[in-house]
């Protein structure tokens, strides 16, 4: 088995003196879809932010393509191909859809940018239709698509998604997950953080369950899905 494209070992993240992430380790094989699930406040977003270079971890080592990226700042990581689709979408409401997309290509040359944008419009025709609209006018689902599309412009090797289903109607969540699956099929590695554990585990290859800052269960996703303890704790009616 080849080395995982992304590896996290012994991650500890603090907010002030609060330990949000205690000792998290996980591996992401290239081309796989790995999901981190758990309740609110379990530390999932903190893990993702540490991996993306938005937070400095207290301790731990993060490796990407064999390089130690623990101390790399976010802008360097995006350039290297590690891109996040943040929680709450964080699109720029006062800019148009097209301008938002072009921001995704901040590190790309103009020509590459045009090519990627064309690709993205093909995959997301609704964004092409709305390209001149202000992003703030889009619906929740469309904004999520925009956020994902924007990340794709950066041509990521690893795509990190933080709660893409949040606040979306069930039908739209289906569409989002369909897009995620497509992305995966093109060979991009995906790390998915989700509160909707059932959907995430159904889509993923491997899963890690986070509970108050630590990994409590891990393994192939379909095994976790069938695991009694996991169901009881997390699946309930959510």
Q: Examine residue 178 and tell whether it contacts another protein (CB under 8 A).
A: no
The answer to whether residue 212 forms part of the interface with another protein (CB under 8 A) is: yes
The one among 10, 41, 66, 220 contacting another protein by CB under 8 A: 41
98 forms part of the interface with another protein (CB under 8 A): no
Confirm or reject binding of residue 170 to another protein (CB under 8 A): yes
Instruction: Please give the Cα distance from 145 to 180 (Å, whole number).
Output: 10
Of 131, 166, 205, 223, which one interacts with another protein (CB under 8 A)? Answer: 166
Judged by CB under 8 A, the residue of 97, 138, 148, 173 near another protein is: 173
To the nearest 10°, report the CA torsion of 177, 182, 187, 189. Answer: -10
- Residues 108, 116: contact at Cβ < 8 Å? yes
Instruction: Say which residues have a Cβ less than 8 Å from residue 87's Cβ, sequence separation at least 6.
Output: 45, 162, 163, 166, 193
Q: Is 114 in the site for another protein (CB under 8 A)?
A: no
- Site for another protein contains 129 (CB under 8 A): no
168 scored as a contact of another protein (CB under 8 A)? yes
CB-CB contact of 84 with 151 (8 Å):
yes
Min. distance of Cβ 6 from another protein in angstroms? Answer: 17
Q: Based on C-alpha coordinates, what's the Rg of the chain?
A: 17
140 counts as binding another protein under rule CB under 8 A: yes
Q: For residue 215, what are the β-bridge partners?
A: 210
Among 3, 67, 75, 182, binds another protein (CB under 8 A): 75
**Nearby residues of 61 by Cβ (< 8 Å), 6 or more positions away:** 7, 8, 9, 10, 68, 70
Contact yes or no for 186/179 (Cβ under 8 A): no
Tell me which of 52, 70, 143, 189 binds another protein, using CB under 8 A. Answer: 52
Please give the Cα distance from 71 to 127 (Å, whole number): 35
Contact range with another protein by CB under 8 A, out of 40-48, 111-119, 120-128, 185-193: 40-48
State yes or no: residue 7 binds another protein (CB under 8 A).
no
- Closer CB to another protein, residue 27 or residue 230? 230
Gap between the Cα atoms of 220 and 127, Å rounded: 35
The residues of the shown chain that bind another protein, judged by CB under 8 A, are: 16-20, 39-42, 52, 54, 73-75, 77-79, 83-84, 86, 90-95, 99, 103-104, 106-107, 140, 150, 154, 165-171, 173-174, 195, 198-199, 202, 211-212, 231-233, 235-238
């Amino acid at each position: 088995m080849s080395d995982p494209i992304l590896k996290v070992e012994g991650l500890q993240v603090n907010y002030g003196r609060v330990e949000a992430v205690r000792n998290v380790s996980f591996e992401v094989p290239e081309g796989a879809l790995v999901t981190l699930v758990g309740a609110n406040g379990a530390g999932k977003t903190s893990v993702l932010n540490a991996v993306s270079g938005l937070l400095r971890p207290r301790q731990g080592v993060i490796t990407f393509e064999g390089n130690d990226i623990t101390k790399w700042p976010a802008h360097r990581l995006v350039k290297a191909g590690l891109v996040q689709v943040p929680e709450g979408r964080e699109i720029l409401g006062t800019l148009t859809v097209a301008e938002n997309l072009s921001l995704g290509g901040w590190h790309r040359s103009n020509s590459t940018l045009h090519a990627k944008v064309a690709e993205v419009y093909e995959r997301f025709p609704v964004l092409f239709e709305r390209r001149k609209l202000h992003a703030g006018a889009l619906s929740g689902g469309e904004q999520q698509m925009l956020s994902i599309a924007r990340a794709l412009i950066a041509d990521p090797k690893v795509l990190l998604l933080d709660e893409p289903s949040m606040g979306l109607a069930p039908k739209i969540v289906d569409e989002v997950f369909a897009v995620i699956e497509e992305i995966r099929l093109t060979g991009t590695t995906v790390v998915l953080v989700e509160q909707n554990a059932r959907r995430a585990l159904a889509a993923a290859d491997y899963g890690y369950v986070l509970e108050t800052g630590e990994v409590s269960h891990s393994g192939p996703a379909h095994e976790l899905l069938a695991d009694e303890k996991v169901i009881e704790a997390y699946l309930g009616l959510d």
